[in-house]
Amino acid sequence: MDPPAEMDTGELDALLRAAADFASYPGTHGEDTVRQFLEQFPLPKLLGVLQSQADVPETVETVAACLDKVFSSRYGASLLPSYGEFIQAGLLTNSNSIRQLACKAVVHLLDKAGDIAVAVDTFVQHNLYPLLINCLIEGDEEISAIVLDAIKRLAEIPTGTDIIFPPDGQGLQLNKVAAQSSSMARIRILSLIAKLFGASSCTATAIRDSNLLSLFEDEIKDRKDMLKTLSALEVLYELAEHPHSNMFLLKTSLLQHITDVINDPSADSIVRSRASLISGRLLSSADAFMTIEKSCATNLLLAIDKILRTEESQNTDEIESALETLGLIGTTTQGACLLLSDPPKIARHVVEMSFDRQGRGKQLAALHAFGSICGVDRQEDQMKLDDHQAEECLKRLVYSAASNSPKLTPSALLLSILQQDPDVRIAGYRVLSGLVVREWCLREVCSKPEIIGIVTDPKMETTKLGMEARYACCVAINKALSSSHLLHEPSLSELIGKLNEAVRRGPYLSEKRQRVEAQPVVGTMERF
């Protein structure tokens, strides 16, 4: 920037008072207000104060806060392409306040400047992308968060993607930067990759083609520093949320490395739990099983099987995470069939723990997983599994759990779940809603009028979630009956009528209270 013009003390004091007032205004200034302010205090003068008063922190903070308000308006942002040199200098400075302002200015440039082509040209002309990466790995947490937002916005612009991933392979390479960075900086680069991965399928493809996913593998393979491994897994957990993550991540060795973490007895239980949940997310779509070899999935389940053997793992959180993982896998028909196959027939842990009242957290996690395996999260026509052996296995597991309990029958076992506290009962409604599409379970339910009494009782639940779960269960039983030959059994006519009435009534307590009319009170007059 050009050297600032000299300002006398009175002029500087007036500017700082106005800047402080402008910065302290709650909310966003109107466009006309910003325009009028800049007519009185032009941008060159404000930027000049930042240069001349760089060694006075209070002045820098005041003017930086004022300029942030200016640039957050559309009019202020429209001026930024003419001040690319200021942004460049701001990103290079050692002042935290000015560097943060420059990073925010980049966000405003991309978000509100108006002409995207001009904004991208400003990036190229002043070489801002490498400077942002430098701020990402060297700045404080707040600056790094702003940079992540700025680069993600750049990636959402088609021509901006070419700046991050140059077609000719030249320019800044994130994997090379990561190789030369500290462990904290590498985690920040992983966070950037996760942000970019979710920006679009194009950026996800560019990440794969640039071999950046191998950075996750490197961090997870090296388990000498468990805190570093956990940080990498946390970022990977975020990345695995994106809809198109499976088609890219499962084509790498990541699932095998995650399985190795779960199998590692020296790994902290928190690390193993997070690795387990990531594997569940990766295998929670039907596409996943078309991408990986069955042996990889089997190895993963064998690792989770070890966690669920209580004699080998007494960590409740780890067991609950493993159960949640199985629930995620069981949301698809392919996943449910895999869990019910032999070996390892890992679903037996889920069923047994669903009815084990020794650990409430484990029972809740198991019931929710059991509901997913039964199909409550799948489309109605996919709730029952095409695999006859898997369906038979599910039936055997339920009858086996019942016969090994004091309840003896599945109907009594299911009723006992509905008679527990509200959280367990809600999880029980999920299991029943999925399980009742099977004829054998429908018969069991109809053999226990107490079950029907609970699912049709509008006063049973007091929370919105509970009312809706109870009603969904009631609808599921009624629908299963309507397509079953049990519908015509005379002994069930009263039960069917009760279900029909409950379905008509809806999920919430809707019984009309009798209207009480005011009644006149007539009494004899007292006489003296």
CATH number at residue 1: 1.25.10.10
Long-range contacts of 257-266 (CB under 8 A, 24+ apart): 257/217, 257/220, 257/221, 258/220, 258/282, 258/300, 259/296, 259/299, 259/300, 259/303, 260/221, 261/220, 261/223, 261/229, 261/233, 262/300, 262/303, 262/304, 262/307, 263/303, 263/306, 264/223, 266/223
Rounded to an integer, what is the distance from CA 403 to the centroid of its chain? 39
Domains held by the chain: number: 2
Q: How many CA atoms lie within 13 A of 183 on its CB side?
A: 14
User: Is residue 454 one of the residues assigned to a domain?
Assistant: yes
Q: Supply the pLDDT for residue 5.
A: 52
Q: Extract the residue ranges of the chain whose pLDDT is less than 70.
A: 1-8, 113, 168-171, 310-314, 342-344, 509-528
User: Is residue 388 one of the residues assigned to a domain?
Assistant: no
| Residue carrying structure tokens 């199998």 | 263
**Domain end point (choices 149, 164, 179):** 164
pLDDT in tens, 435-465: 999 999 999 998 888 999 999 988 888 899 9
Q: Supply the pLDDT for residue 520.
A: 55
Q: Supply the pLDDT for residue 390.
A: 92
463 is in which domain, residue-wise? Answer: 406-506
Q: Supply the pLDDT for residue 524.
A: 55
Query: Is the dihedral angle over the CA atoms 197, 199, 201, 206 positive or is it negative?
Result: negative
| Angle between helix 226-239 and 254-263 (nearest 10) | 130
User: Is residue 151 one of the residues assigned to a domain?
Assistant: yes
- What global pTM score does this model have? 0.81
- Choose among 470, 476, 475, 477: nearest CA to 508: 470
N-terminal to C-terminal alpha carbon distance within the chain: 105
User: Is residue 377 one of the residues assigned to a domain?
Assistant: no
Q: Supply the pLDDT for residue 518.
A: 47
pLDDT in tens, 313-338: 567 888 999 999 999 999 999 999 99
DSSP string over 370-390: HHHHHTTTS-GGGSS-S-HHH
User: Is residue 266 one of the residues assigned to a domain?
Assistant: no
Q: How many CB atoms lie within 10 A of CB 464?
A: 10
User: Is residue 25 one of the residues assigned to a domain?
Assistant: yes
Q: Supply the pLDDT for residue 344.
A: 61
**Domain end point (choices 164, 184, 213):** 164
With a pLDDT cut of 90, the percent of the chain lying above it is: 45
User: Is residue 368 one of the residues assigned to a domain?
Assistant: no
Q: Supply the pLDDT for residue 513.
A: 40
**Domain end point (choices 112, 144, 164):** 164
Q: Supply the pLDDT for residue 521.
A: 52
User: Is residue 260 one of the residues assigned to a domain?
Assistant: no
